Structure 1
Amino acid sequence: MLRRLAPALLTLVVVALGVTALAARPTAEAPGRSADYVVLAGVAGLRWEDVDPQTTPTLWRMAQRGSIGSLSVRSAHRPTCPVDGWLTLGAGSYAAWNGSRQAGGCPPAAVTVEQPDGIGANLPDQESVVLHNQERLPWGTVPGSLSESVRCSVAVGPGAAVAAARPFGRVDRYAPALPPDPAVLLGSCVLSIVDLGTVAGEDPAARQEAARAADAQLARVLAARPPRSLVLVAGVSDTDLPSRLHVAVADGPGWEGGWLTSASTGREGYLQLVDLAPTALAALGRPMPERPFLGRPAESVGGRPADLATAIAQPAGADREAAAQRRVAGWFFTLLAAAQVLLGLAVLPMLRRARRHAGPYGPEPVSRRVVAVVEVLLIAAALAVPAALLADVVPWWRGEHAGAWFAGVTVLLVVGATAAVRLTPGYPATLGPLGAVAGLTTLTVGLDVVTGARLQLNGVVGYSALEGGRYAGLGTVGLGAFVAGALLSAGWLAQRVRRSWRPAVVATVGSAAVVVVGSPYLGADPIGAIALTAGVCVAAVISAGGWLTVSRLAWAAMAGLAVTVGLALLDLRRPAPERGSLGRFLAALGDGTGGLTVHRASTANVETLVNSPLTVLALAGALLVWFALLQPWGGLMRLFGIYPAVRAAMAGTAVAAVIGGVLGGSALDVAGAAGALVVPMAALSALRVLDHSTDRTRPDAGGQRDEGPAGAPGAERSSTDAVPDPSGSPSAPPADPDGPSSAEAGGPSSGAAADQPRPGERGRAARASTEVATS
């Protein structure tokens, strides 16, 4: 009865821990009213490197008083051109201006502003812009949502008119430029949007001149600001490729001397362009529109250095790091995919010749030195991702040749980690390298997540703030590496205990990994936690032996579904601004806009599948496993038979990686990152079990097996008798500390049948025994 109830009990434990970890959220109080007026001042293209006490003294003093941050200007178009940035600012969601696009840059803004009455203005193109965003773009954005949420708004300049125009094109109050006395205009409405100009190009002198002109206009705005007002200065857009991080400064009551952040980023010092609209409404105490903004209200948090120059160096450095990350990430993953494909091709002939035949005929085995070199290369390939993550401890992006510095640091870390694995006491065992590599990967990614995921932000194997998809927690590549490392570690640990304890070990380690991935305080990835829950349950139910039957698969599916439903129900009970991704999706299904979310996810999957080098890595790994390792000569089936817990871990990794990638909109990226660890370790372990496929152990007189001294590489054990030596003494190969226990040797689910001698071997053993007895 206990054995029958074990899958259900394990499922309940994993589900309970998963829901608890995902449901616990930081207590977030809704920001209250803090101002009577809000002034949004935008400068297209303004970056922190343009700000200094001499060129922009007004903005410098404002930043000293207020709160600062790095602004990600993601919109519905890449790059975010000035007109797209202004439109996104006024919509509170990702938007884009319709019309033709210039490849590699931004076309001149062709915005027509009519002034029929001299008070307000009208944008005749606004109707077509609204239809473009509603029907052709997958975000369901409503341009003008910010201005629709207040009774009256002011716009100064053409860019501000785009942000302040209501959905039908009307701008309440408009001025092409700041009047001689802006106080009357800025005080006529609770919301004012001011276009301070554009800072474009890469020429330092030209940028300084444009920034100085924008700063002079800002000085006039601050001198005429209404009493008890909040002034937000933002670099609202890019001006050409590549995208960059931009300036964000807030000055007003309650915004003194801190970092800007929001719930949409979850990272101190980072803000999104779509956060500005809800920030303005929250400061005015106005309700959010019926269709919620994608952004969240910003807030000021402490911890900023007292010296402004030191504080500004952090967002400026983040901008340089993000720019370097974009240049380096592509070739790193391309080289990693190429290296692993070449290693896979090199392993194929070695797998064919790895099995040592007992008779005088058969292929010549590969040299031990060659095998040792290939094993080291496989370990190095498996450690490339965690080494690249750890490389961000060194500020390689500050050098003139950032790519070369990153390559040098990563190679040194790979060499050091490979040497550490090679020198571990358990390295000679069959599963020694697998356990060491999985443990190092889990430890590296896990410690980074627990300490704030600082290495993943703008890291080569992390995520970029320029993309606007994630700013905190566990990224796509990190999720794949952590899932593979955690489950392989669980399988390695489970293999070292009695069969009856293996499901509990896998469930315990897997549940801890679910907490790390899904907790809002740590990984903050509910989709990844749900996928990992399914993978952990699959691994737990087959870790003691046997195959993935329909009933066992049903238990795993029920566990993942239970975590999903439990989290969704808890998420729906929260207020709309505090909901997570699942709660927002279910709410969207309720109001009929859930199809947009599905469309965005499917579009992201297709784009990632076509453009990502990790797709090649995932497909190449799958082909190597299916057409080589899983063949009778490939060794992986033999490995699975002797070590069922490892088979369970690899099956769970495959399930979790595929589910996490597809549901998260990253296609095969999670599977590719997981395969970068799993496939080399599977090939190495298969080589070792094939090399010792003919080793035998003879039981002693008491019925126990006579195990030789430990330490031989990959020696396996079986319940069959050893082939007698012609001298009359039985051969006893060294024992493998990772081998199956005596309780399971020879059991049908442990794979001992795969360890039985072939018919030819039995005949040779019988003849040898007869000759010895006759002599």
Structure 2
Amino acid sequence: MPWGPPVLVVLAVIASLAGLTINPKTVAAPPTVDYVIVAGAAGLRWEDIDPQRTPNLWREATQGSIGWLSVKSAQRVTCPDDGWVTAGAGNYAAWPPLNPLGPCSLDPPAITQPDQIGADLTDQALAVRENQDRLSFGAVPGALAESVRCTTAFGPGAALAAARPFGRVDKYQPALTGDVKTLLSSCPISMVDLGTITGSGADRQAAVEQADAALAKVLAARPDRSLMLIAGVSDTDRTTRLHVAIAEGAGWDGGWLTSAGTGRDGYLQLVDLAPTVLSALGKAAPEKLFAGRTATIVDGKPADLTKAVQGSHNADQRAGAQHAVAEIFFKVLSIVQLLLFLLIVPVMGRARRHAGPTGPALPPPRLVAAFEVALIAAALAIPAALLADASPWWQAKHPAWWFGLVTFALVAVGTAAVRSAPRFRRTLWPIGAVAVIGTVVVGVDLLTGAQLQLNGVAGYSAIHGARYAGVGGVGLGVFVSGLLVVSGWAAQWVRKPWRPLVFVLLGGVGVVMVGSPFLGADPVGAIAVTAGVCVAAAISTGGWLTFPRIAWAALAGLAVTIGFAVVDLRRPALEQGSLGRFLSAIAGGTGGPAVQRAASSNGQTLLESPLTVLAVIGVLMLAFCQFSPWGGLQRVFGLHPALRAAGAGTTVATLIAGALGGSALTVAGAAAAATVPTAVLTALRVLLHAADRTRAFPVLSEPDKTGVVSKTRAPSSPNAGPAR
């Protein structure tokens, strides 16, 4: 075996790791302050703020830094009490009773005032016990208050955020009455409940105006050297939305709010408020308790607030439309692919005739051509959906129909491009061309900031609070499967010893694209890609996964994983990715809740996601094509072993990414939807080539010139040709 391929493989692995060592740029923290005032209004959204009706909120948003606030808590829908206790815990918390399905309770928590100074939360001990024993986030209600000498609260909601773990609120007023100025300057942290915004129409407007009037009292009494944080701390019904986040004070004048937890300019999490408060006061966050990250400021906010949060920049409207349309899209795609596979089974049964002079006729060429077009279109559905998110479909009166029309048009264009190519008749052209399209669409999106995936139908929603930047589960499935199929397609054109190099070179690019904090920002996905590439490279020259091949693949994957972990752990705590945070949690003894959350998320996603159906449909169809006598996939793998390696690598990568990332079969389902249709098309073509064989004719006997009788051969089929 020549030394060239192994040496280049090692160099490619080193180059991949080198691409991950670049640290994200650090953002200078704003100057510290003496006081932080957190003014919260449950249900407050950007559409509620108006320069005439809410002049104080409008002025604060114009002068300060702003963002879209994701109010994810330990509950599936964050009700007001859940939002306030999460803000005070700095972690995903919930207020008892835990009721994930019932309507939000707007009743205030039970509070007693044994003196004229502070107050006691009656159910705080129960809340601490419920969050520690029944929930998997390790939240401690009151962790923020326990980090400073005293806190002040105005209103019942604020008391939930300002109380200590044993329930004591140091200074409390049921409303903004009395000497507000003295109270705001008596403790470093003040929590203010501006009210609850519910309903619609005139009633909602009245509630918002009352909140703005309450804010006016706070602004008039705020002490010098103070930071004002204004937040819509929760939802108020069973509909999850994005809410208001404003930071105004010295050093916070202008720009978008962001944090290392979101990695996306203009987006903040509710759990980021607590570490931001302590950072602004110059205090360290408590160890092992906070899940949020300190908010920072980035430039780019338009001077006109209307342009920043309304119209084409209304992230809340887009995210809400995404949730509804995504469910419809993937259900329709599942049904279409299922029907397509069921209809093509008898066609594949006729494509390979039994031996003998008689047998079922081959399927009509027009029928085969129609199925080929349909299979290509089905495989291009998700890349087309990603591109469709570049259009403002979500602003239409009927967003689902507009999204469907745009996606259908893009599918038609992509199918026509693949079908009209001069090399279309080549056996491997459709599977390779479709894989290139999927890989390029996702790759270009990552290079341009993953704008198509944020709040996109084939991406992820900021409302869910799981991901805000980088590559999502659907995009990862399309990218990984496409990259490995392209590698297998290209590897067929080189000599066997050099095929592993093709996989490692292209796979190394994939590892950097997925794992880089500037691009995919998914270190777990990068590890999964590494594992898939190693498996594919090990069997790309043919044969099976023998023990030496498994050992070398495992060692290579382990080396990349360790290198990735070392790189991530060397970054500052606020710049670490999910892998670094997870390893830090394990080292600190708090990794158990993270594992429990991943397991819970896997179970929930497995049962609820339409992509699970796509994964099952794809596996069943591949099993039919692999093991049935007329399936054809076994012959494809025999003729093209690099494609078999790509299939094995895709299976390993998508399953690892889903299991470790908490998304179950989401990644595998997206990969199946993007690759199984063209794999079936390839198998059908190979079957049709296999049917082009010598026809049966009577054997004729005739004497030659010497009088010896000889037999003549039957004429060959005019359609015979190689399965290329």
Fold-level similarity (TM above 0.5): yes
CA distance in 2, matches of 1:173, 1:231: 19
Answer yes or no: is 1:434 the counterpart of 2:431.
yes
Which AA in structure 2 matches 1:382? Answer: A
Which AA in structure 2 matches 1:133? Answer: N
Matched with 1:282 is 279
Match of 2:99 among 91, 98, 101: 101
Matched with 2:465 is 468
Match of 1:612 among 597, 600, 609: 609
Summarize the alignment of residues 33-72 of structure 1 with structure 2, pairs less than 5 Å apart. 33-72=31-70
CA distance in 2, matches of 1:515, 1:214: 47
Summarize the alignment of residues 541-556 of structure 1 with structure 2, pairs less than 5 Å apart. 541-556=538-553
CA distance in 1, matches of 2:654, 2:331: 20
CA distance in 1, matches of 2:311, 2:290: 28
1:417-442 per-position Cα deviation (integer Å, ceiling 9, x unaligned): 11111111111100011111001111
CA distance in 2, matches of 1:14, 1:119: 66
Match of 2:522 among 522, 525, 530: 525
Instruction: Tell me if structure 2 keeps the 8 A contact 1:112–1:123.
Output: yes
2:366 is paired with a residue whose SS is: helix
Cα distance change on mapping 1:375 and 1:123 into 2, 3 Å: same
Matched with 1:591 is 588
1:393 is paired with a residue whose SS is: coil
Matched with 2:138 is 140
Which AA in structure 1 matches 2:2? Answer: L
Answer yes or no: is 1:208 the counterpart of 2:205.
yes
Matched with 1:129 is 127
1:618 is paired with a residue whose SS is: helix
Matched with 1:669 is 666
Q: Which moved more, 1:688-697 or 1:599-608?
A: 688-697
Matched with 1:762 is none
What is the aligned residue count?
Answer: 708
Cα distance change on mapping 1:153 and 1:371 into 2, 3 Å: same
1:105 is paired with a residue whose SS is: coil
1:693-712 per-position Cα deviation (integer Å, ceiling 9, x unaligned): 15579xxxxxxxxxxxxxxx
Matched with 1:76 is 74
Summarize the alignment of residues 267-666 of structure 1 with structure 2, pairs less than 5 Å apart. 267-313=264-310, 317-356=314-353, 359-666=356-663
Matched with 1:2 is 2
Q: Offset of 1:236 from its aligned partner?
A: 0.3
Which AA in structure 2 matches 1:232? Answer: L
CA distance in 1, matches of 2:277, 2:398: 42
Instruction: Tell me if structure 2 keeps the 8 A contact 1:18–1:518.
Output: no
| TM norm structure 2 | 0.94
In percent, how many aligned pairs have the same letter?
Answer: 59
Which AA in structure 2 matches 1:583? Answer: G
CA distance in 2, matches of 1:33, 1:145: 23
Cα distance change on mapping 1:672 and 1:686 into 2, 3 Å: same
Instruction: Tell me if structure 2 keeps the 8 A contact 1:535–1:556.
Output: no
CA distance in 2, matches of 1:559, 1:468: 34
After superposition, the CA RMSD in angstroms is 2.0
Q: Offset of 1:158 from its aligned partner?
A: 0.4
1:280 is paired with a residue whose SS is: helix
Q: Offset of 1:30 from its aligned partner?
A: 6.6
CA distance in 1, matches of 2:28, 2:672: 42
Q: Offset of 1:28 from its aligned partner?
A: 2.3
CA distance in 1, matches of 2:390, 2:534: 35
Which AA in structure 2 matches 1:672? Answer: G
CA distance in 2, matches of 1:100, 1:537: 45
Matched with 1:234 is 231
Q: Offset of 1:584 from its aligned partner?
A: 2.1
Instruction: Tell me if structure 2 keeps the 8 A contact 1:32–1:282.
Output: no
CA distance in 1, matches of 2:300, 2:472: 25
1:692-737 per-position Cα deviation (integer Å, ceiling 9, x unaligned): 115579xxxxxxxxxxxxxxxxxxxxxxxxx99756x99695567x
Cα distance change on mapping 1:77 and 1:324 into 2, 3 Å: same
CA distance in 2, matches of 1:544, 1:470: 38
1:484-517 per-position Cα deviation (integer Å, ceiling 9, x unaligned): 1111111111112333332212211111111111
Matched with 1:117 is 115
Instruction: Tell me if structure 2 keeps the 8 A contact 1:17–1:515.
Output: no
Q: Offset of 1:11 from its aligned partner?
A: 5.7
2:277 is paired with a residue whose SS is: helix
CA distance in 1, matches of 2:255, 2:543: 58
Q: Offset of 1:358 from its aligned partner?
A: 6.7
CA distance in 2, matches of 1:195, 1:66: 20
CA distance in 1, matches of 2:246, 2:676: 48
Which AA in structure 2 matches 1:366? Answer: P
CA distance in 2, matches of 1:316, 1:544: 50
Which AA in structure 1 matches 2:251? Answer: G
2:132 is paired with a residue whose SS is: helix
Q: Offset of 1:628 from its aligned partner?
A: 3.4
CA distance in 1, matches of 2:362, 2:718: 20
Matched with 2:707 is none
1:169-190 per-position Cα deviation (integer Å, ceiling 9, x unaligned): 1111111111244111101111
CA distance in 2, matches of 1:304, 1:626: 52
Matched with 2:90 is 92
Q: Offset of 1:397 from its aligned partner?
A: 0.6
Which AA in structure 2 matches 1:2? Answer: P
Instruction: Tell me if structure 2 keeps the 8 A contact 1:48–1:315.
Output: no
Q: Offset of 1:231 from its aligned partner?
A: 0.2
Q: Which moved more, 1:360-369 or 1:319-328?
A: 360-369
1:140 is paired with a residue whose SS is: coil
Instruction: Tell me if structure 2 keeps the 8 A contact 1:22–1:526.
Output: no
Instruction: Tell me if structure 1 keeps the 8 A contact 2:45–2:232.
Output: yes
1:243-291 per-position Cα deviation (integer Å, ceiling 9, x unaligned): 0000111110111121111111111111100111111111110011022
2:343 is paired with a residue whose SS is: helix
Cα distance change on mapping 1:287 and 1:100 into 2, 3 Å: closer
Instruction: Tell me if structure 2 keeps the 8 A contact 1:75–1:96.
Output: yes
1:195 is paired with a residue whose SS is: strand
1:311-370 per-position Cα deviation (integer Å, ceiling 9, x unaligned): 122696110111111111112111111111111111211221112567421221111111
2:253 is paired with a residue whose SS is: coil
| TM norm structure 1 | 0.88
Summarize the alignment of residues 673-752 of structure 1 with structure 2, pairs less than 5 Å apart. 673-695=670-692, 726=714, 733=720, 739=724
Q: Offset of 1:638 from its aligned partner?
A: 0.6
Instruction: Tell me if structure 1 keeps the 8 A contact 2:151–2:189.
Output: yes
Q: Which moved more, 1:461-470 or 1:563-572?
A: 563-572
Q: Which moved more, 1:340-349 or 1:469-478?
A: 340-349
Which AA in structure 2 matches 1:600? Answer: R
CA distance in 2, matches of 1:361, 1:549: 43
Matched with 1:711 is none
Q: Offset of 1:454 from its aligned partner?
A: 0.4
Q: Which moved more, 1:314-323 or 1:131-140?
A: 314-323
1:397 is paired with a residue whose SS is: helix
Cα distance change on mapping 1:321 and 1:217 into 2, 3 Å: same
Answer yes or no: is 1:178 the counterpart of 2:176.
yes
CA distance in 2, matches of 1:457, 1:575: 26
